[in-house]
Amino acid sequence: MTDQDTELIEGICRKDKRSFELLYKGYYKKLYILAFQYVRQPEMAEELVNDVFLKLWNDAEQLNIRQSLSSYLSRCVINTALNTIKKENRKAFHQEKFLSGYEESEMENDEAQMLENKLIRLEKALDSLPPQCKKVIMMSKFDKCKQQEIADALNISVKTVKSHLTNGYEKIRVMLSKEQVLFFFLFLLFAVELRLLHLNIVL
């Protein structure tokens, strides 16, 4: 855990509301979006995140966090979300995707941070698109407009809308996968470095 997190958790153990407030505000956004990715309903996602925080407030003394607080909270959110989905038994398409990929486990990846990073990278990629192209994608995804509606609103043809979507998505896809390759190389480099370090020690 980071020093700041340790301090906040200690505060929460003393039932200090100010520490709780700082922690809540610091983590809310990424935990909320993580919950939303699973349950797809704003109120339910909010309720779920609040439940996790309440549990933290009530049981802080008994916490035994091995890795980071953020990973721990991510795991709580995911497990609670999976339980909610299972119980609600809703047949959304996302459900299958997540239920097949994830099971409740001890695994402690910082899923919330990973998702937040992805969204920030996507936002950057979107910002680098030509203005009209960005506008079309925003309308299609953020305002959930159909292609025809976008065409009408911007006074362009559906064909043009399609070509904006095509170009936009392709550019974003290429940008993000390039970044991924970069990350992969950095990781490899890091691994090699470690290996060398290890060899040095052995020698």
Partner 1 sequence: MEEINHPNQIPYHLIMDEMEGEISVADLQELENWKAADPAHLRSYQEILDIADHAELLTVYREADPELAWQKFKPSIPEEVKIVPLHSEKKSGLFFLKWAVAIVVVISGALLLANQSGWIGSQTISTGKNERQKLNLPDGTEIFMNANTTISYHKSGFLKARNVELEEGEAYFNVIHDEENPFSIKVGDLNVNDLGTSFNLKVEPKQVVVVVNSGKVSLEKAKDTILLSAQDRGTFNRETKQMSFAKNNDLNYRAWHDKTLHYEKASLSEVADDMKELFGTHIIFQDAALKERTLSAYFKDKTEAEIMNSIAETLRLKVTKRGGTFVLSN
Interface contacts to partner 1, rule CB under 8 A? 15, 17, 20-21, 24-26, 28-29, 32-33, 36-37, 42, 46, 49-50, 53-54, 57-58, 62, 84, 87-89, 115-116, 118-119, 122-123, 126, 137, 140-142, 146-147, 162, 165-167, 169-174, 176-177
Taking the complex as a whole, how short is the minimal distance between the CB of residue 169 and partner 1, in angstroms? 6
Taking the complex as a whole, how short is the minimal distance between the CB of residue 200 and partner 1, in angstroms? 38
DSSP line for 136-164: HHHHHHTS---HHHHHHHHT--HHHHHHH
Taking the complex as a whole, how short is the minimal distance between the CB of residue 198 and partner 1, in angstroms? 33
CB atoms within 10 A of CB 186: 10
Taking the complex as a whole, how short is the minimal distance between the CB of residue 199 and partner 1, in angstroms? 36
Q: Toward partner 1, which CB reaches closer, 91 or 199?
A: 91
Q: Which amino acid would we find at residue 38?
A: Y
Q: Toward partner 1, which CB reaches closer, 57 or 102?
A: 57
Residues in the chain: 203
Q: Which of 122, 115, 121 is nearest to 81 (CA)?
A: 115
CA-to-CA dists, residue 25 to 28, 29, 64, 194, angstroms: 5, 8, 22, 37
